[in-house]
Amino acid sequence: MTNFATTLIMPFLVRIVIAAAMLTSGWVNCFSQVEIRSSIAQGLQAMEIEVNTPAVEDVADSTLEESDEAVTPTSINATTRGVHRIAWLLDNRWPDLGGWGIFIAWAAAVSQLVAGVLLLVGLFTRLAALTICVATGTAIYLVSGGMHGMFTMNPFEWPHDSHQFIQLFAGLGLFTLSLGLLLGGGGVFSLDARHKKTEPAKKNNGTKNRSE
């Protein structure tokens, strides 16, 4: 039972979970608009990256029937393409990257989508897992380490901010699961495993043909 679970069920479930996380995250980063804080909006504008800020009149009209409170500029949320948040993080940590920051951000976002698809079907599982290990490890370093400074804090203070705490361990969880796939492969229910089964059959057929 243990062997069945560890060699068949667990690799499959791990692939599905990571694929779901990568596909949704990659789709948002590549194609969707996300809300950002004013500090990020200012940083992106300094980088000459497009930021969408709705006019106060538009926000007031859309919320007039929902609330009697006045709309102030601080209540307006700017939006930008999801990948631009990655570019801002990179520029905030390594400002000398310049235009390379945008390129790396897009490479990371597209890699999320591609790795998610590969893990879903179990094709090139170890390569996809390595890509996700690099992406999640970098995200942990930039966000939890750089922005939040959690690695210089007492670990017993981490749960005081539930958002930062969950964000850190979600990243660590994805990194650990991806590392498991990198070391152990995609399991029996994967195209990689099917390819391994067909190779010996082809070699045996080739040997028989030569002997005949």
Percent of the chain scored above 70 by pLDDT? 79
Hey, what are 165's tokens?
């705490």
Block residue for tokens 């796939």: 181
How far apart, in whole angstroms, are the C-alpha atoms of residue 130 and residue 44? 29
Mean pLDDT of 174-200: 86
Query: Which is more confident, 149 or 210?
Result: 149
Block residue for tokens 């951000």: 105
Query: Which is more confident, 197 or 49?
Result: 49
Hey, what are 107's tokens?
């490479």
Distances (CA, A) of 212 to 29, 202, 203: 57, 15, 14
How far apart, in whole angstroms, are the C-alpha atoms of residue 81 and residue 49? 10
Residue 2 has what pLDDT?
53
How far apart, in whole angstroms, are the C-alpha atoms of residue 151 and residue 158? 9
Query: Which range, of 7-11, 36-40, 43-47, 48-52, averages the lowest pLDDT?
Result: 7-11
**pLDDT class for 73, splitting at 50, 70, 90?**
very low
Block residue for tokens 């790396």: 104
Average pLDDT, the chain: 84
Q: Say how many residues make up the chain.
A: 212
pLDDT higher than 90, residue 83: yes
pLDDT higher than 60, residue 138: yes
**CB crowding 87-104: b at 16 or more within 10 Å, else e:** bbbbbebeeeeeeebbeb
Per the CB < 8 A criterion, the answer to whether 120 and 23 are in contact is: yes
What digits encode the pLDDT tens for the residues 84-128?
999 999 999 999 988 899 999 999 999 999 999 999 999 999 999
Block residue for tokens 């995609």: 186
Q: Kindly write down the DSSP assignment for every residue of the chain, as one continuous string.
A: -HHHIIIIIHHHHHHHHHHHHHHHHHHHHHH-EEEE-HHHHHHHHHTT---B---HHHHHHHHTTT--SPP-GGGPPEEEEHHHHHHHHHHHH-GGGTTHHHHHHHHHHHHHHHHHHHHHHTSSHHHHHHHHHHHHHHHIIIIIIIIS-GGGS-GGGGGGSHHHHHHHHHHHHHHHHHHHHHHH-S-SSSHHHHHHHHHHHHHHHHHHHHH-
